[in-house]
Chain A
Amino acid sequence: MKNMQVNANKNSNLSLAGALVLAGGAALALSQYFIWIHAPVEVTMGLVQKIFYLHLPAAWWGMICFFIVFCASIGFLLRRSPAMDQLAASAAEIGLLYSTMALATGSLWARVSWNTWWTWDPRLSTALIMWFIYAGYLVLRQSIDNRRKMRMVAAVLGIMAFLNVPLVFLSARMWRSIHPAVFASEGGGLEPEMLTTVIVCVVSLGLLTAGLLMFRFRQKNIQERVLDLYRH
């Protein structure tokens, strides 16, 4: 009886995740309206500035996913529960996906407005280095056969990777300060329509992130249990 209840609970978790993904997808589709029609064209940067509305949420939510990896890794080392490890793995996957998207869109944007695919900007370099670290993290998870050991090592790496972020950012900034700064950083005041668009995009991608993360987390959990059944 209790078991069934737990199962029902978990099923509703899964459908909540599905609902979140659907809502996020719909919201993201809606935000296309905001991006193309509602937001005005920026005066100096022109049409291409609209890349920003997808670039920024991807970068932010990617970073938040990496932060979740950090927290879940600490949780795993404290409690040794496989669920924490599965959460960390799911968050790392999604964070890697988002930072890939942020890097790709950022590169496209740079090509138009700065006429170069890549420049040594502290944020850009930090994102790229984080991408490398978490790609390594996922490769590491694949290549250690002993599952208990893999979880421990991955948790340690998940903590170290995030501790490294401020240092990477600082060093990237100091590195650039040696060379002349060619490009002024963007920013300045946002018009109200732009601000609404940004908020809509951040929220809709956030919904999608939450849904994807919950779904992937549950999926990984079930995957491991099924694999265990095969082994017995």
Chain B
Amino acid sequence: MKCRPLALAAKDLRLVFADGAGIIQPVLLGLILVFVFSLSTPVGEEVPAQAAAAIFWLATSFAVILVFNTLYSLEGANQARIGLLLSPMPVQYIWMGKALSGLVLLLTAQIFFLPAIIVFLGQDLMVSWPGALGTILLIDWGLVAVGSLLGAMSQGHSARDSLLSVVVFPLLVPLLLAGISMGSFFLGEGTGGEPGSWLGLVLAFNALFTGAALVLFPFIYGEY
């Protein structure tokens, strides 16, 4: 017995990386965002760590929208979605597979965003790399849990990116606040806020929405 969510994720990733557009688009958009925001301060002045963290997570949120639109449109051709639905496994595996491949794509995009933050926004102080990477991974988990659930509603539609972002962004607010706060801590602006309590909030968010997604996904991803 192979692990089916992993097989699904591997299939998605092969498709996306073979084509390339699915990953290049979010990376480019994120880099442009970072660059444009670097214009928000006068030349020679430093961008505050909190602003840099906010820009990083903004670029990531847009990447979430684009990534899951791509992932769920993969089955659009030839009604491959029906095949996926008919395969003998719980529907939630599809959510899991898409979340996993989404996580990989998101991390790939962030590999480009992180240096961009350092180069364009002049952030050179990193308090703790393992801590920062762990934080990014944890927050990404929440992002892909919600993204994979609501991204499924874009199935069968093209050009619904903007609609998805209007719905998803406000839901992600607690996670983004946590990300910005912890990000500014790791970029060396640890002003009083303790990352510990934010960590608790992120874990609560992840647990809540992972559970909600497992229960609710079958309702969204079906044949209508």
Contact = CB atoms under 8 A, between A and B. Distances in A.
Direct contact of A and B (CB under 8 A): yes
B204 A167 contact: yes
B20 interface: no
A140 interface: yes
Interface in A140-189: 140, 143-144, 146, 148-149, 152-153, 155-157, 159-161, 163-164, 167-168, 170-172, 174-175, 177-178
Contact of A156 (B177, B193, B216, B224): B216
A171 B171 contact: no
Contact of B170 (A77, A133, A163, A170): A133
A174 B198 contact: yes
B65 to A, nearest CB: 13
Contacts of B212: 159-160, 163
Interface size band for B: 20 to 34
B135 interface: no
Given A146-B224, A160-B216, A174-B198, A136 B193 contact: no
Interface residues of A, number: 32
A167 B156 CA distance: 32
Contact of B177 (A160, A161, A163, A172): A172
Contacts of A139: 163, 166-167
A132 interface: yes
| Dominant SS among interface residues on chain B | helix
Contacts of B222: 152
Contacts of A161: 171
B177 A164 contact: no
A53 interface: no
Contact of A159 (B156, B216, B224): B216
B166 A164 contact: no
Contact of A132 (B163, B170, B192): B170
B171 A164 contact: yes
Interface of A: 77, 129, 132-133, 136-137, 139-140, 143-144, 146, 148-149, 152-153, 155-157, 159-161, 163-164, 167-168, 170-172, 174-175, 177-178
25 contacts: A77-B216, A133-B167, A136-B166, A136-B167, A139-B166, A139-B167, A140-B167, A143-B163, A144-B157, A152-B220, A152-B222, A152-B224, A156-B216, A157-B167, A159-B216, A160-B171, A160-B209, A160-B216, A163-B209, A164-B174, A167-B201, A168-B174, A170-B174, A171-B173, A175-B177
